[in-house]
Copies of this chain bind each other. A is one copy, B any other.
Amino acid sequence: MKYYPRPESGLDIHEINLAVEAAFREHGMGNVQMPPKVYITFPEGDFRTMPAYLPAEHLAGLKCVNVHPTNPQKGLPSVMALTIILDVGTGLPLAILNATGLTDLRTGAAGAIATRYLTGKKSVTVGLVGTGRQAAAQLEAISRETDVTGVRVWSRKEESAYKFAEKFSRFNCRAGTLPFVCDCDVLVTTTPSRSPIVMNDWVHEGTHINAIGADAPGKEELDPSILERAMVIVDDPVQAVHSGEINVPIRDGKFSPEEISGTLGEVVLGRKKRTSSGQITIFDSTGLAIQDLAIASIAMKKGKFVELEFL
């Protein structure tokens, strides 16, 4: 059994995007086994267990990932993860991967795929609400698939936005207010917010939104009125209803599961698509176990590992 301590280092973002896209294609065709995430809740956070099986890739296993929002105060990342990969034919554990960095990359990949299929544009301006690790991962992944001509960024802490803008100056990145940032082609929200921070009036027609931050019951980033104007694509309907951007509007009777237009898998298959250039499209990302398997598979081909005694 192999252990990969730093499997994210040296990976090619485009290769990851393609592998995650292939996993969504299988998901769209109904060719995967993937029960909804199972949550265990702690006083100060939670952890989620995400098992899956991708028969086309002969790939199975699970990811275990926590979310403890106050960890940075203790010098630890909020989100840490391990992935276990099993041999399909025998169940033998083949590998354990430190999946903290991989989790950033595979979520970025889903955003890049959604952007490429749903914007219908070859070059875009990007607005980033939030400046954490996932904001950077989304920008890196999107820019590998779609030409990014400018970036606007907002953070609750103004200083963080300026630092981010400086770090990503190669994208002509500028810090600004929320309305300024929302004036873009591709809006990416990556905050842990529990009430809407992106208002309806700020989002113009034709915008594509990657709604990434909401990943647990009670979390939301978008004014629910935006959902009414939009085509809403989810990664997985069960997970999205439970914990995605739509979970609070559904709880409050402002959105219903029947209003989900389709899944990203169906978008990749060409079964669902933007119907006009003025349409607002939203990708509600909760994160799928098959994304974790797909990226683990790539990382296992390239990463350094230590051999562990098991049998």
Chain A residues near B (Cβ < 8 Å): 3, 5-6, 33, 35, 38-47, 49, 51-53, 60-62, 64, 66-68, 71, 74, 76, 80, 82, 84, 86, 88-93, 96, 98, 306, 308-311
26 A-B residue pairings within 8 Å (CB atoms): A5-B308, A5-B310, A33-B40, A35-B38, A35-B39, A38-B38, A38-B49, A40-B52, A42-B89, A42-B91, A43-B88, A44-B90, A45-B91, A49-B51, A62-B64, A64-B84, A64-B93, A66-B86, A66-B90, A67-B91, A68-B91, A74-B90, A80-B92, A82-B84, A84-B84, A96-B96
B310-A98 in contact (CB<8A): yes
Q: Which 10 A-B pairs have the closest CB atoms?
A: A66-B91, A5-B309, A49-B51, A68-B91, A40-B53, A35-B38, A33-B40, A40-B51, A49-B49, A76-B90
CB distance from A189 to the nearest CB of B (A): 23
Q: Other CB < 8 Å A-B pairs besides A47-B51, A71-B91, 10 of them? A: A33-B41, A41-B53, A45-B91, A46-B91, A68-B91, A76-B90, A80-B92, A80-B310, A82-B93, A82-B96
| Residue of B whose beta carbon sits closest to that of A3 | B308
How many angstroms between the C-alpha atoms of A307 and B278 in the bound complex? 55
| Known contacts A51-B47, A64-B62: A42-B88 contact under CB 8 Å | yes
| Residue of B whose beta carbon sits closest to that of A6 | B309
Note all chain B residues with C-beta closer than 8 A to A43: 88
How many angstroms between the C-alpha atoms of A26 and B111 in the bound complex? 43
| Residue of B whose beta carbon sits closest to that of A98 | B310
B62-A90 in contact (CB<8A): no
Note all chain B residues with C-beta closer than 8 A to A68: 89-91
Which among B44, B90, B91, B309 is the interface contact of A89 at CB below 8 angstroms?
B44
CB distance from A236 to the nearest CB of B (A): 15
B40-A60 in contact (CB<8A): yes
How many angstroms between the C-alpha atoms of A46 and B88 in the bound complex? 9
| Known contacts A3-B308, A33-B41, A47-B51: A76-B92 contact under CB 8 Å | yes
A42-B53 in contact (CB<8A): yes
